[in-house]
């Protein structure tokens, strides 16, 4: 087996760090798992032993790799990780979609992914330029929810929209034309929620790409955190729309 390199965007594999995320990976994408990495201090831990048993049953080899775990997690107490092959997914036409344009913070993408799974948005489009979706930090922030999603990275929003024409599109903008609850109450099941960059939001042209939406908020803040805004939007569409 080749030496495990320090994570880099260019590698064709990545690291899923932590017991809970590793179980999510084995639940959702077991065929991508390559190696189970273990820390000596984790042997005997219930979650670790469950991982070992699942990997043994799947024919995934295990190895002690304390140094790699410490290097990738930057922590001393990361007890397990799975090395997995990066993959690409197609979005499902009949799903509700969430689109993240030019998202730059991996923590935000991971946190939003967790909420996306929680609220049934299983098809996620990420528009370049963007954070590396396989960065171990993103996967970690998602608590492994990332593996339960169909995520596809597009070179542009046009590439996405030409592949999925004729959908209800809801770009979220600080100057959106209607309020979130109002938009959600009218929405059909097959829709697309669109979110922009953390600092700059969506370009003004998105006003023409569908029904723009705003989340009512006090002018005492500049905006909400991106993961928070996206999560509120997905929750509300899920629980107010029919």
Residues of the shown chain interacting with a second copy in the complex, contacts defined by CB under 8 A? 20, 107, 111, 114-115, 117-120, 143, 145, 148, 180-181, 215-218, 220-222, 224-225, 227-228, 231-232, 235-236, 238-240
Output the smallest distance, CB 222 to a second copy, in A.
6
Smallest distance from the beta carbon of 174 to a second copy, in angstroms? 11
Instruction: Choose between 97 and 114: whose C-beta lies nearer to a second copy.
Output: 114
Judged by beta carbon, residue 68 or residue 180, the one nearer a second copy is: 180
Closer CB to a second copy, 54 or 238, in the complex: 238
How far is Cα 7 from Cα 215, in angstroms, rounded to an integer?
37
Least spacing, CB of residue 25 vs a second copy, in Å: 13
102 vs 111, which CB is nearer to a second copy? 111
Bridging pattern class, strands 80-85 and 33-38: antiparallel
Residue 115 or 138: which CB sits closer to a second copy? Answer: 115
* Cβ count near 59 (within 10 Å): 7
Angle between helical axes of 106-118 and 226-240 (0-180°, round to 10): 10
Q: How far is the CB of 231 from a second copy (least distance, A)?
A: 4
**Minimum CB distance to a second copy, residue 188 (Å):** 19
Residue 2 Cβ, how far from a second copy at the closest point, in Å?
33
CB of 19 to a second copy, least distance (A): 11
Question: Considering beta carbons, is residue 107 or 159 the nearer one to a second copy?
Answer: 107
Report the distance separating Cα 120 and Cα 123, nearest Å.
9
User: What is the chain's length?
Assistant: 242
71 versus 238: smaller Cβ distance to a second copy = 238
Q: Which residues pair with 61 in a beta bridge?
A: 35
């Amino acid at each position: 087996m080749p030496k495990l390199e320090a994570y880099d965007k260019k590698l064709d594999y990545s690291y899923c760090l932590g017991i809970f995320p590793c179980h999510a990976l084995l639940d959702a994408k077991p065929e991508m798992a390559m190696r189970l990495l273990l820390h000596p201090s984790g042997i005997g831990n219930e979650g670790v032993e469950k991982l070992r048993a699942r990997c043994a049953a799947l024919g995934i080899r295990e190895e002690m790799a304390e140094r790699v775990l410490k290097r990738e997690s930057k922590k001393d107490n990361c007890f397990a990780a799975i090395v997995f092959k990066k993959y690409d997914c197609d979005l499902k036409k009949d799903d509700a979609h969430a689109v993240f344009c030019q998202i730059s913070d991996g923590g935000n993408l991971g946190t939003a992914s967790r909420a996306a799974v929680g609220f049934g948005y299983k098809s996620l489009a990420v528009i370049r330029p963007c954070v590396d979706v396989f960065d171990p930090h993103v996967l970690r922030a998602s608590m492994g929810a990332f593996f339960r999603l169909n995520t596809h990275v597009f070179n542009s929003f046009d590439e996405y929209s030409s592949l999925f024409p004729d959908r209800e599109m809801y770009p979220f903008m600080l100057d959106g034309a209607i309020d979130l609850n109002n938009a959600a109450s009218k929405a059909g099941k097959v829709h697309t929620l669109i979110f922009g960059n953390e600092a700059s939001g969506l370009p003004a042209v998105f006003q023409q790409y569908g029904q723009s939406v705003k989340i009512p908020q006090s002018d005492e803040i500049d905006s909400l955190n991106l993961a928070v805004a996206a999560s509120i939007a997905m929750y509300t569409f899920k629980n107010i729309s029919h």
